[in-house]
Amino acid sequence: MNYTTDKLNYARFLPHYYATMSCLPIDHPEVHQQFMHGGFSVQLGSQNPYGRIPVDQTIEETVNRDTQTAGGTKGFSLKQAAVEMYYLTSGYRSNYL
């Protein structure tokens, strides 16, 4: 942890990440196959075949779009449709993550 700027130093996790991903074909072959077939990203539109984005970014750009306001989360609860979609579907959405 870089305490002077209060930011996490992700570079120190690189050896562990590399070791884990190197063992992926042996430890989790089904996940490795899914990654090899492009299962780590989502294509939002059929018009741009090169416009794939990470799965977590897809959630930010689609499901969570209604919860984003100019002032952050301030005023979020004033949008009834956003509240219903965000909270009532959270259980279903978590099944796909």
pLDDT digits (tens, 9 = 90+) for 7-47: 777 788 889 989 999 999 999 999 899 888 877 787 877 88
DSSP annotation string for the chain: -BTTTTB--GGGGHHHHHHHHHTHHHH-HHHHHHHHTTTTEEE--SS-TT-EEEHHHHHHHTGGGGG-BTTBTTTGGG-HHHHHHHHHTHHHHHTT-
Instruction: Please check the confidence at residue 82 and state whether its pLDDT lies above 80.
Output: no
pLDDT digits (tens, 9 = 90+) for 7-17: 777 788 889 98
Domain ranges of the chain: 1-39, 54-97
